[in-house]
Amino acid sequence: MTNRIFYTKPSITQLETDYAADAAATGWGARCYDYLNRFERDFKTYLGSGFAIATSSCTGAMHMGLAALDIGAGDEVILADTNWVATVSPIVHLGARPVFVDVRADTWCIDPEEVERHITPKTKAIIATHLYGNLCDMDALLEIGKRTGIPVIEDAAEAIGSVWHGRRAGSMGAFGTFSFHGTKTLTTGEGGMFVTNDAALYEKVLTLSNHGRARGQTKQFWPDAIGFKYKMSNIQAAIGCAQLERIEELVNRKREILASYMIRLSALPGISMNPEYTGTINGAWMPTAVFHPSTGITREMMQQTFETANIDARVFFYPLSCLSMFKDRPENVNAWSIPDRAINLPSYHDMSEADIDRVAATLLDLAAGRIYHNSTLRQSV
């Protein structure tokens, strides 16, 4: 049997190993935050943001950011129905109500018109999730935020390397959050980052991130608020520092893989992939194929075909509103339709051209068989 093609794995070199070993050997006592401070400093420089706080996860960064905005019981937060549960969990933990709105058919990201339609006096935040490296329409969302006074938050967990008209994803909203999970373009194993240009918000989140201990508090072990424990470790940050030194290489390779798939699948009718519009750069975290309903190709067909070919198949996110813990079932047509006919394609950095050929050929063979089947059916009617 051919070797299995995994959907993702990190790119780890000797540089990451050396930095992690150094942090483990020397990063204690007076040097316990050396790599952590360096990672935060270098990340905010890369992003073009004023402040950054390394966290144990993107979810933790989102939780603290929302808490710092005083979001709680009785409040509403608007977000795309197409999302991983990590984006909605902090909203629920804070006692607020998530309002799920539809996504655009082309970007699979939140639809600003739907956002506008769902704003109420209870709306306290809008979360813009840049899905799979695709970009939300930040001009439209920021205009809504400016006009209504509602903060726009960027969930850039999947969008490092993505750029909206000269501004990096995550750097435009009231705050942004990133994920450095082992599946991401830049990884620390587990981990995340909170970023903002708001000095007051930064100080509030910094306090929350360290058990509520304010930076200026002179009393030792004296908390000024009930906070969280969402700090990243120095060893994780060391890996992040190494990855950040290689960020252009890591993002460029992701973009190369997406481009390779697009070339190989370009002749396939009824398929769309991650878009990149004029003035934007798609960080291409997760190349994704979405078939038009007329093709008759379903998620289950693709899962079975890839499994037979010994290739990992990762499903497109289910709509959050379909989950049993939520009672609202909004008519979000795209968020409910797209996952039934979409699949995430393998895209780890050291994929060979032969690997990409094999994945694409598997999809092409499935589509060819399905198109032939549909054609035969039409002729027999």
Q: For the chain, what percent of residues have pLDDT higher than 70?
A: 97
- Whole-prediction pTM value? 0.95
| Per-residue confidence (pLDDT) for residue 230, from 0 to 100 | 95
Q: Across residues 342-348, what is the average pLDDT?
A: 98
pLDDT, position 376: 41
Amino acid 313: pLDDT: 87
User: Which residue, 32, 28, 35, 93, is CA-closest to 60?
Assistant: 93
Closest CA to 242 of 18, 10, 8, 9: 18
**Which residues form the catalytic set?**
184
Please determine, for residue 255, whether its predicted confidence score (pLDDT) is greater than 50.
yes
- pLDDT tier, 1 (very low <50, low <70, confident <90, very high otherwise): low
| pLDDT higher than 90, residue 302 | yes
pLDDT grade for 141, boundaries at 50, 70 and 90: very high
pLDDT mean across residues, the chain: 95
User: Residues for the chain: how many in total?
Assistant: 381
CA atoms of 348 and 333, how far apart (whole Å): 31
